[in-house]
Amino acid sequence: MAAVTAPGETIGPPRASGKRRRRWPAAMVAGWIVVLAGISWWSVRHDPATVPEQQELAQAMPALREATGTLLAAAQGGPWVVRLGTPRTSTCELTPVRDGTAAGQDVVVYVPEGQARTALNEVAAALPGGYRAAVVPTRAGTRLSLFADAGHFIAIEAQAQAADQVLTLSVDTGCRPGTADEAAAVPGAGTSAAVPGAGTAAAVPGTLAETVAALGGTPGGGVAVQTIACPGGGTAGTYRSVAGASGSGPRGVPSGVTLVWSGAGGWAYRNGSESVVVDASGGKLQVSVTTACGQ
């Protein structure tokens, strides 16, 4: 017998209940995603580090400074000019849901023309054996790469062309939990300012005032100071001050001193054991004098 229905009615499952059944799996999946995201958010903020490189940035700062001092001493072993860079920090992606901070510092080495490979090889050889430092030439020797492992997941790296005369050797922590403010709060992590006549004036090398005066500046102005502990004890530092207006060509170079490097951006030379760099890239000359470890 045929089914009898009222006018306007149809036989079949109610559509509304079918839609509700189809919504349940999607709701369960969405809920589970929210739970996993919440667990991940809590974990990255509360769980201890699972690998050494995840140690807090503040914990890595002493190792970073130690490696920088060791690199500076190694670079000072040759007839090059060296300059200690200012510590730096940058934001990086630690995990997909959390930012971290990387910290580093540079040692800049100025070499005579054609001696980039020799300089990098000598720096690598002067680093401790445990650093496993090596220089790798590529592209028929025209490209040079220096790599070293300072321990505690601190890396030393340099990339240069064989014809380069200004070589930047970088010491880096890699991306770690923490902030730039936390890193700067570690004793000895930042820069300081010294004014001749203050308590720190005795540390300022006389070469700085002499060079500033020779370049038309006024000795006795502010001095920016960046120091680092040397591996054999004591400290070395780079002292910076402003001299006269920029002009064409090197000048104010002491008699008997040979320039190691000169270019459109300035010049550099050795004055005894001290390294002198004059930056002529701005309206005012910037003079830096770097003292040697063991001086």
In this model, does residue 69 exceed pLDDT 60?
yes
* pLDDT value of residue 105: 97
* Per-chain mean pLDDT for the chain: 84
For residues 104 and 60, the answer to whether their CB atoms sit within 8 Å is no
Higher pLDDT, 74 or 3: 74
- Of 21-35, 71-85, 93-107, 119-133, where does mean pLDDT reach its minimum? 21-35
The band of 185, judged by pLDDT with boundaries at 50, 70 and 90, is: confident
Q: How far apart are CA 144 and CA 110, in angstroms?
A: 15
Highest mean pLDDT among 34-48, 86-100, 152-166: 152-166
* pLDDT value of residue 7: 53
What are the tens digits of pLDDT across the range 20-58? 555 556 666 566 555 554 444 444 344 444 444 457 999
Which 3-state string (H, E, C) describes the chain?
CCCCCCCCCCCCCCHHHHHHHHHHHHHHHHHHHHHHHHHHHHHHHHCCCCCHHHCCHHHHHHHHHHHHHHHHHHHCCCCCEEEECCCEEEEEEEECCEEEEEEEEEEEEECCCCCHHHHHHHHHHHCCHHHCCEEEEECCCCEEEEEEECCCCCEEEEEEECCCCEEEEEEECCCECCCHHHHHCCCCCCCEEECCCCCCHHHCCHHHHHHHHHCCCCCCCCEEEEEEECCCCCEEEEEEEEEEECCCCCCCCCCCCCEEEEECCEEEEEECCEEEEEECCCCEEEEEEECCCCC
* pLDDT value of residue 236: 95
The band of 200, judged by pLDDT with boundaries at 50, 70 and 90, is: very low
Q: How far apart are CA 136 and CA 268, in angstroms?
A: 27
Q: Selecting from 3.30.2030, 3.90.700, 3.90.79, 2.60.40, what CATH number does the domain 52-184 have? A: 3.30.2030
In this model, does residue 222 exceed pLDDT 70?
yes
For residues 183 and 193, the answer to whether their CB atoms sit within 8 Å is no
* pLDDT value of residue 186: 85
Measure Cα distances from 93 to 59, 96, 99, 156, 274 in Å.
19, 7, 5, 21, 40
What are the tens digits of pLDDT across the range 114-156? 999 999 999 999 999 999 999 999 999 999 999 999 999 999 9
* pLDDT value of residue 116: 97
* pLDDT value of residue 43: 43
Q: How far apart are CA 62 and CA 37, in angstroms?
A: 35
Q: How far apart are CA 215 and CA 252, in angstroms?
A: 6
For residues 65 and 237, the answer to whether their CB atoms sit within 8 Å is no
In this model, does residue 194 exceed pLDDT 60?
no
- pTM score over 0.85: no
The band of 195, judged by pLDDT with boundaries at 50, 70 and 90, is: very low
Task: Tell me the domain boundaries of the chain.
Answer: 52-184, 192-290
What are the tens digits of pLDDT across the range 237-256? 999 999 999 887 899 999 99
Angle of helix 57-75 relative to helix 116-126, nearest 10 degrees, comes to 120
For residues 290 and 82, the answer to whether their CB atoms sit within 8 Å is yes
In this model, does residue 172 exceed pLDDT 90?
yes
